[in-house]
A = this chain, B = another copy of it.
Amino acid sequence: MYFDELKSLSIKNDNKIVLLVMDGLGGLPIEEGGPTELEAANTPNMDALAKKSMLGLHQGIRSGITPGSGPAHLGLFGYDPLKYKVGRGVLSALGVDFDLRNSDVAARGNFCTVDENGIIIDRRAGRIGSDVGEPLCKLLNDNVKIPGVEVFVRLVKEYRFLLVIRGEGLRANIAETDPQMVGEKPLAAKALDEASKRAAEVVQEFVMQASAILADKHPANMLVLRGFAEMPDWPTFPDLYGLKSAAIAMYPMYRGVAKLVGMNSFPAAYSYEEEIEMLEKHWEEYDFFFVHIKKTDSYGEDGDFAKKVHEIEKVDALLPRILALDPSVLIITGDHSTPCAMKSHSWHPVPVLLYAKTCRPDNIDRFGERACLGGGLGVRFPAYELMPLAIAHAEKLEKFGA
């Protein structure tokens, strides 16, 4: 990306930008010749807006790569996910709404089962449920004591948890303790550079104390750690684009990834209506709003075509309230595809609609994957080009060169 140029050309004005992300929006037909979820949905408001907009299909990361949620959103925010990589420890912290600080070291942990010789015999501790994992995390959180360091353990889900160590002089370049196979003992936490030695010692001490605490908790009688990571030191979104920015989302992961790039993140909303109310309430205070819609992805993962279609229709019904705020630029897209036919995230390009008062409309009268093929944004363009286009269309960029 051309961050230096974007930053140096940035100018302020009162024009507002909304990025409306329907998670997992892109889909596939479930029968030969049939429509995708978006094509099947009855979306009169989006279709009318399409007529005044530019359409296209983006790729979150690179051709053929299926994006996870974190990288996919970084792409939408203009950060090339192959260059701006987030460690799994940090993503886990974002996902549980943990307020990670700049000097923290975070890791993703699994409870596992070891035999009497300390050999791993189940890497997921019999896939214990969250009801078992939750009190184990609390036990570790409350009972591990390491001088000069704070230790936090939070459940992620089932047998997966977040470990954060907080203190002076901790760095995260530490090898994972997970041997990634049964029949081996957990590895010692090993610093991969001089600066991370202290943190590795702390982690090793944590593992020692934890293993004693867990000894009688079979099948979760041990743990392994990986994805040691710190908060990244990146150019922030508000600084890069000159936008006072806010994130509105129902789930912690999306508020977290927005915070990661320096957006202000509102407290969790509990419905689409509440998300729109937040947008209306704070409209005058910000230049940019990221609004995240989760359930399109959830129903994609479930393989429930009719429900995913219905969620899209619910969002369409709310569109007039967003348009009533008179945004200068409104982008409607997904972070990746989650086709019901696949019940998972996928690499398929994602439909995009970019409405702006300054845009050159394509004159296409509906929003859908096939309709987007003929649009002016092009097909299979990198998601990270959307933000530069958004600020250009909001007339927030000066001319380059004379």
Contact = CB atoms under 8 A, between A and B. Distances in A.
Interface in A32-60: 32-33, 36, 52, 56-57
Question: Secondary structure at chain A's binding surface: helix, strand, loop or mixed?
Answer: loop
Q: How many copies of this chain sit in the oligomeric assembly?
A: 2
B65 A28 contact: no
Contacts of A398: 66
A348 interface: yes
B379 A380 contact: no
Contacts of A375: 373, 379
Given A82-B5, A380-B381, A347 B402 contact: no
Interface in A325-372: 342, 344-349, 358, 360-363, 369-370
Contacts of A32: 52
Interface in A72-130: 72, 81-82, 85-86, 88, 91-92, 95
17 contacts: A2-B82, A5-B62, A5-B82, A36-B360, A64-B391, A64-B392, A65-B392, A65-B397, A70-B402, A71-B401, A91-B401, A344-B399, A348-B360, A349-B376, A360-B369, A373-B374, A374-B374
Interface of A: 2, 5-6, 9, 28-29, 32-33, 36, 52, 56-57, 61-72, 81-82, 85-86, 88, 91-92, 95, 342, 344-349, 358, 360-363, 369-370, 373-381, 385, 388-393, 397-402
